Amino acid sequence: MNRPVLQIENARAYYIVENNYVRAIDDISIVIREGEVVGIVGESGSGKTTLSNVMLMNIKRPLSLIDGKVKLYSNGNVIELNKLSREELQKNIWGKETSIIPQSAMNALMPTKKIKDSILDVMKTHFEEIHEKEIIEKVQARFEEVGISKDVIFRYPFELSGGMKQRAVIAIATLLNPRFLIADEPTSALDVSTQKMVLKTIQDLREKEIVKSIAFITHDIATVRQIAETLVVMYAGKIVEISSIEDIIKEPLHPYTRGLLFSVVTPEPEVKKRGIYYIPGTPPNLMYPPPGCRFHPRCEYKLDICDKEEPKLKDVNGRKVACFLY
């Protein structure tokens, strides 16, 4: 097994709202290893975006890390990100060791500056001294690597199309070859044909070893299936299943995974044969999560134990699932 790059241990991250907790991330542990693309899939309110913030330790009020560790493995050292201050993270970690392709790349670039100038500003935080010409050459090379013209850096963001902007964001996010990259719904705002192009660009990042590993966060299994090897399924702030993507598509174990997978419709004959499913009810309010398994109120396989005890993630034929059926 490859060496880990990022590890989260028993993380709990809650939003504090009027003396109450919204348990957005509740006791989650994940290891992301070198060379891996891990898909993190969940619906709105599953906690997947909070998880991406925890991975980078981008914790801002009202979000608070209640418990747990976030470890980054860098050249044989283990850095506990949860012990660093925001200034330290900004100076030594973000942009350098870790990076993110944000959810809405459409507005991710400073709108009233030329792209080149925004990039130089970022470089100024990481290096005492910068050689503008040298940096621009490197940046231009990276822009061409992700498939956009090197002249784009002399433009303003609003002069670019959606697909170009998204690739410019990818190029900027990976300028310093970060070890660990989060892609947070990077394609959801794009039209279908651009989506494919951007997905390929992200795939290239790992093949060219620009980044070591990627956490790909999405609500769309069909998209993540094209790029990830491992899938983490989240429901109501918990991980319900971790498994290779091929296994999950062949045989989803957790009833939630099954419901989510079977509700995906793609233009394939298998879908017509399989039919369309849905999960009745709605996700719980995370201020008052249901006792026991958080999925039990919507589960068609509910056992007596499900509303009493909380299922732990356990090994089932080399896969991990948090369900009393196994």
Q: What part of residues 265-294 is at the interface with other proteins (CB under 8 A)?
A: 265-272, 276-280, 282-283
Given strand 37-41, what is the order of strands in its sheet?
A: 98-101, 180-184, 213-218, 37-41, 230-235, 238-244, 319-321, 314-316
Total of chain residues touching other proteins, rule CB under 8 A: 80
Q: How far apart are CA 302 and CA 170, in angstroms?
A: 43
Nearest residue (CB) to other proteins, 252 versus 311: 252
Q: Which of 76, 128, 193, 315 lies at the binding interface for other proteins (CB under 8 A)?
A: 193
Site residues for other proteins, 71-110, by CB under 8 A, read 87, 89-91, 93-96, 98-100, 102-110
Q: Which helix (H) or strand (E) holds 181?
A: strand 180-184
CB of 106 to other proteins, least distance (A): 8
According to the binding rule CB under 8 A, does residue 207 interact with other proteins? no
Nearest residue (CB) to other proteins, 165 versus 319: 165
Nearest residue (CB) to other proteins, 132 versus 268: 268
Strands 230-235 and 180-184: unpaired
In the chain the first and final C-alpha atoms are separated, in Å, by 25
Site residues for other proteins, 121-180, by CB under 8 A, read 121-122, 124-126, 156, 158-162, 164, 169, 172-173
Piece in contact with other proteins (CB under 8 A), picked from 73-81, 138-146, 208-216, 257-265: 257-265
Q: How far apart are CA 204 and CA 63, in angstroms?
A: 33
Query: What is the token pair recorded at 122?
Result: 């970022």
CB of 192 to other proteins, least distance (A): 5
If you ran DSSP here, which 8-state letter would residue 44 be given?
A: T
According to the binding rule CB under 8 A, does residue 262 interact with other proteins? yes
Q: CA torsion sign, 264 to 249 to 40 to 160? A: negative
According to the binding rule CB under 8 A, does residue 39 interact with other proteins? no
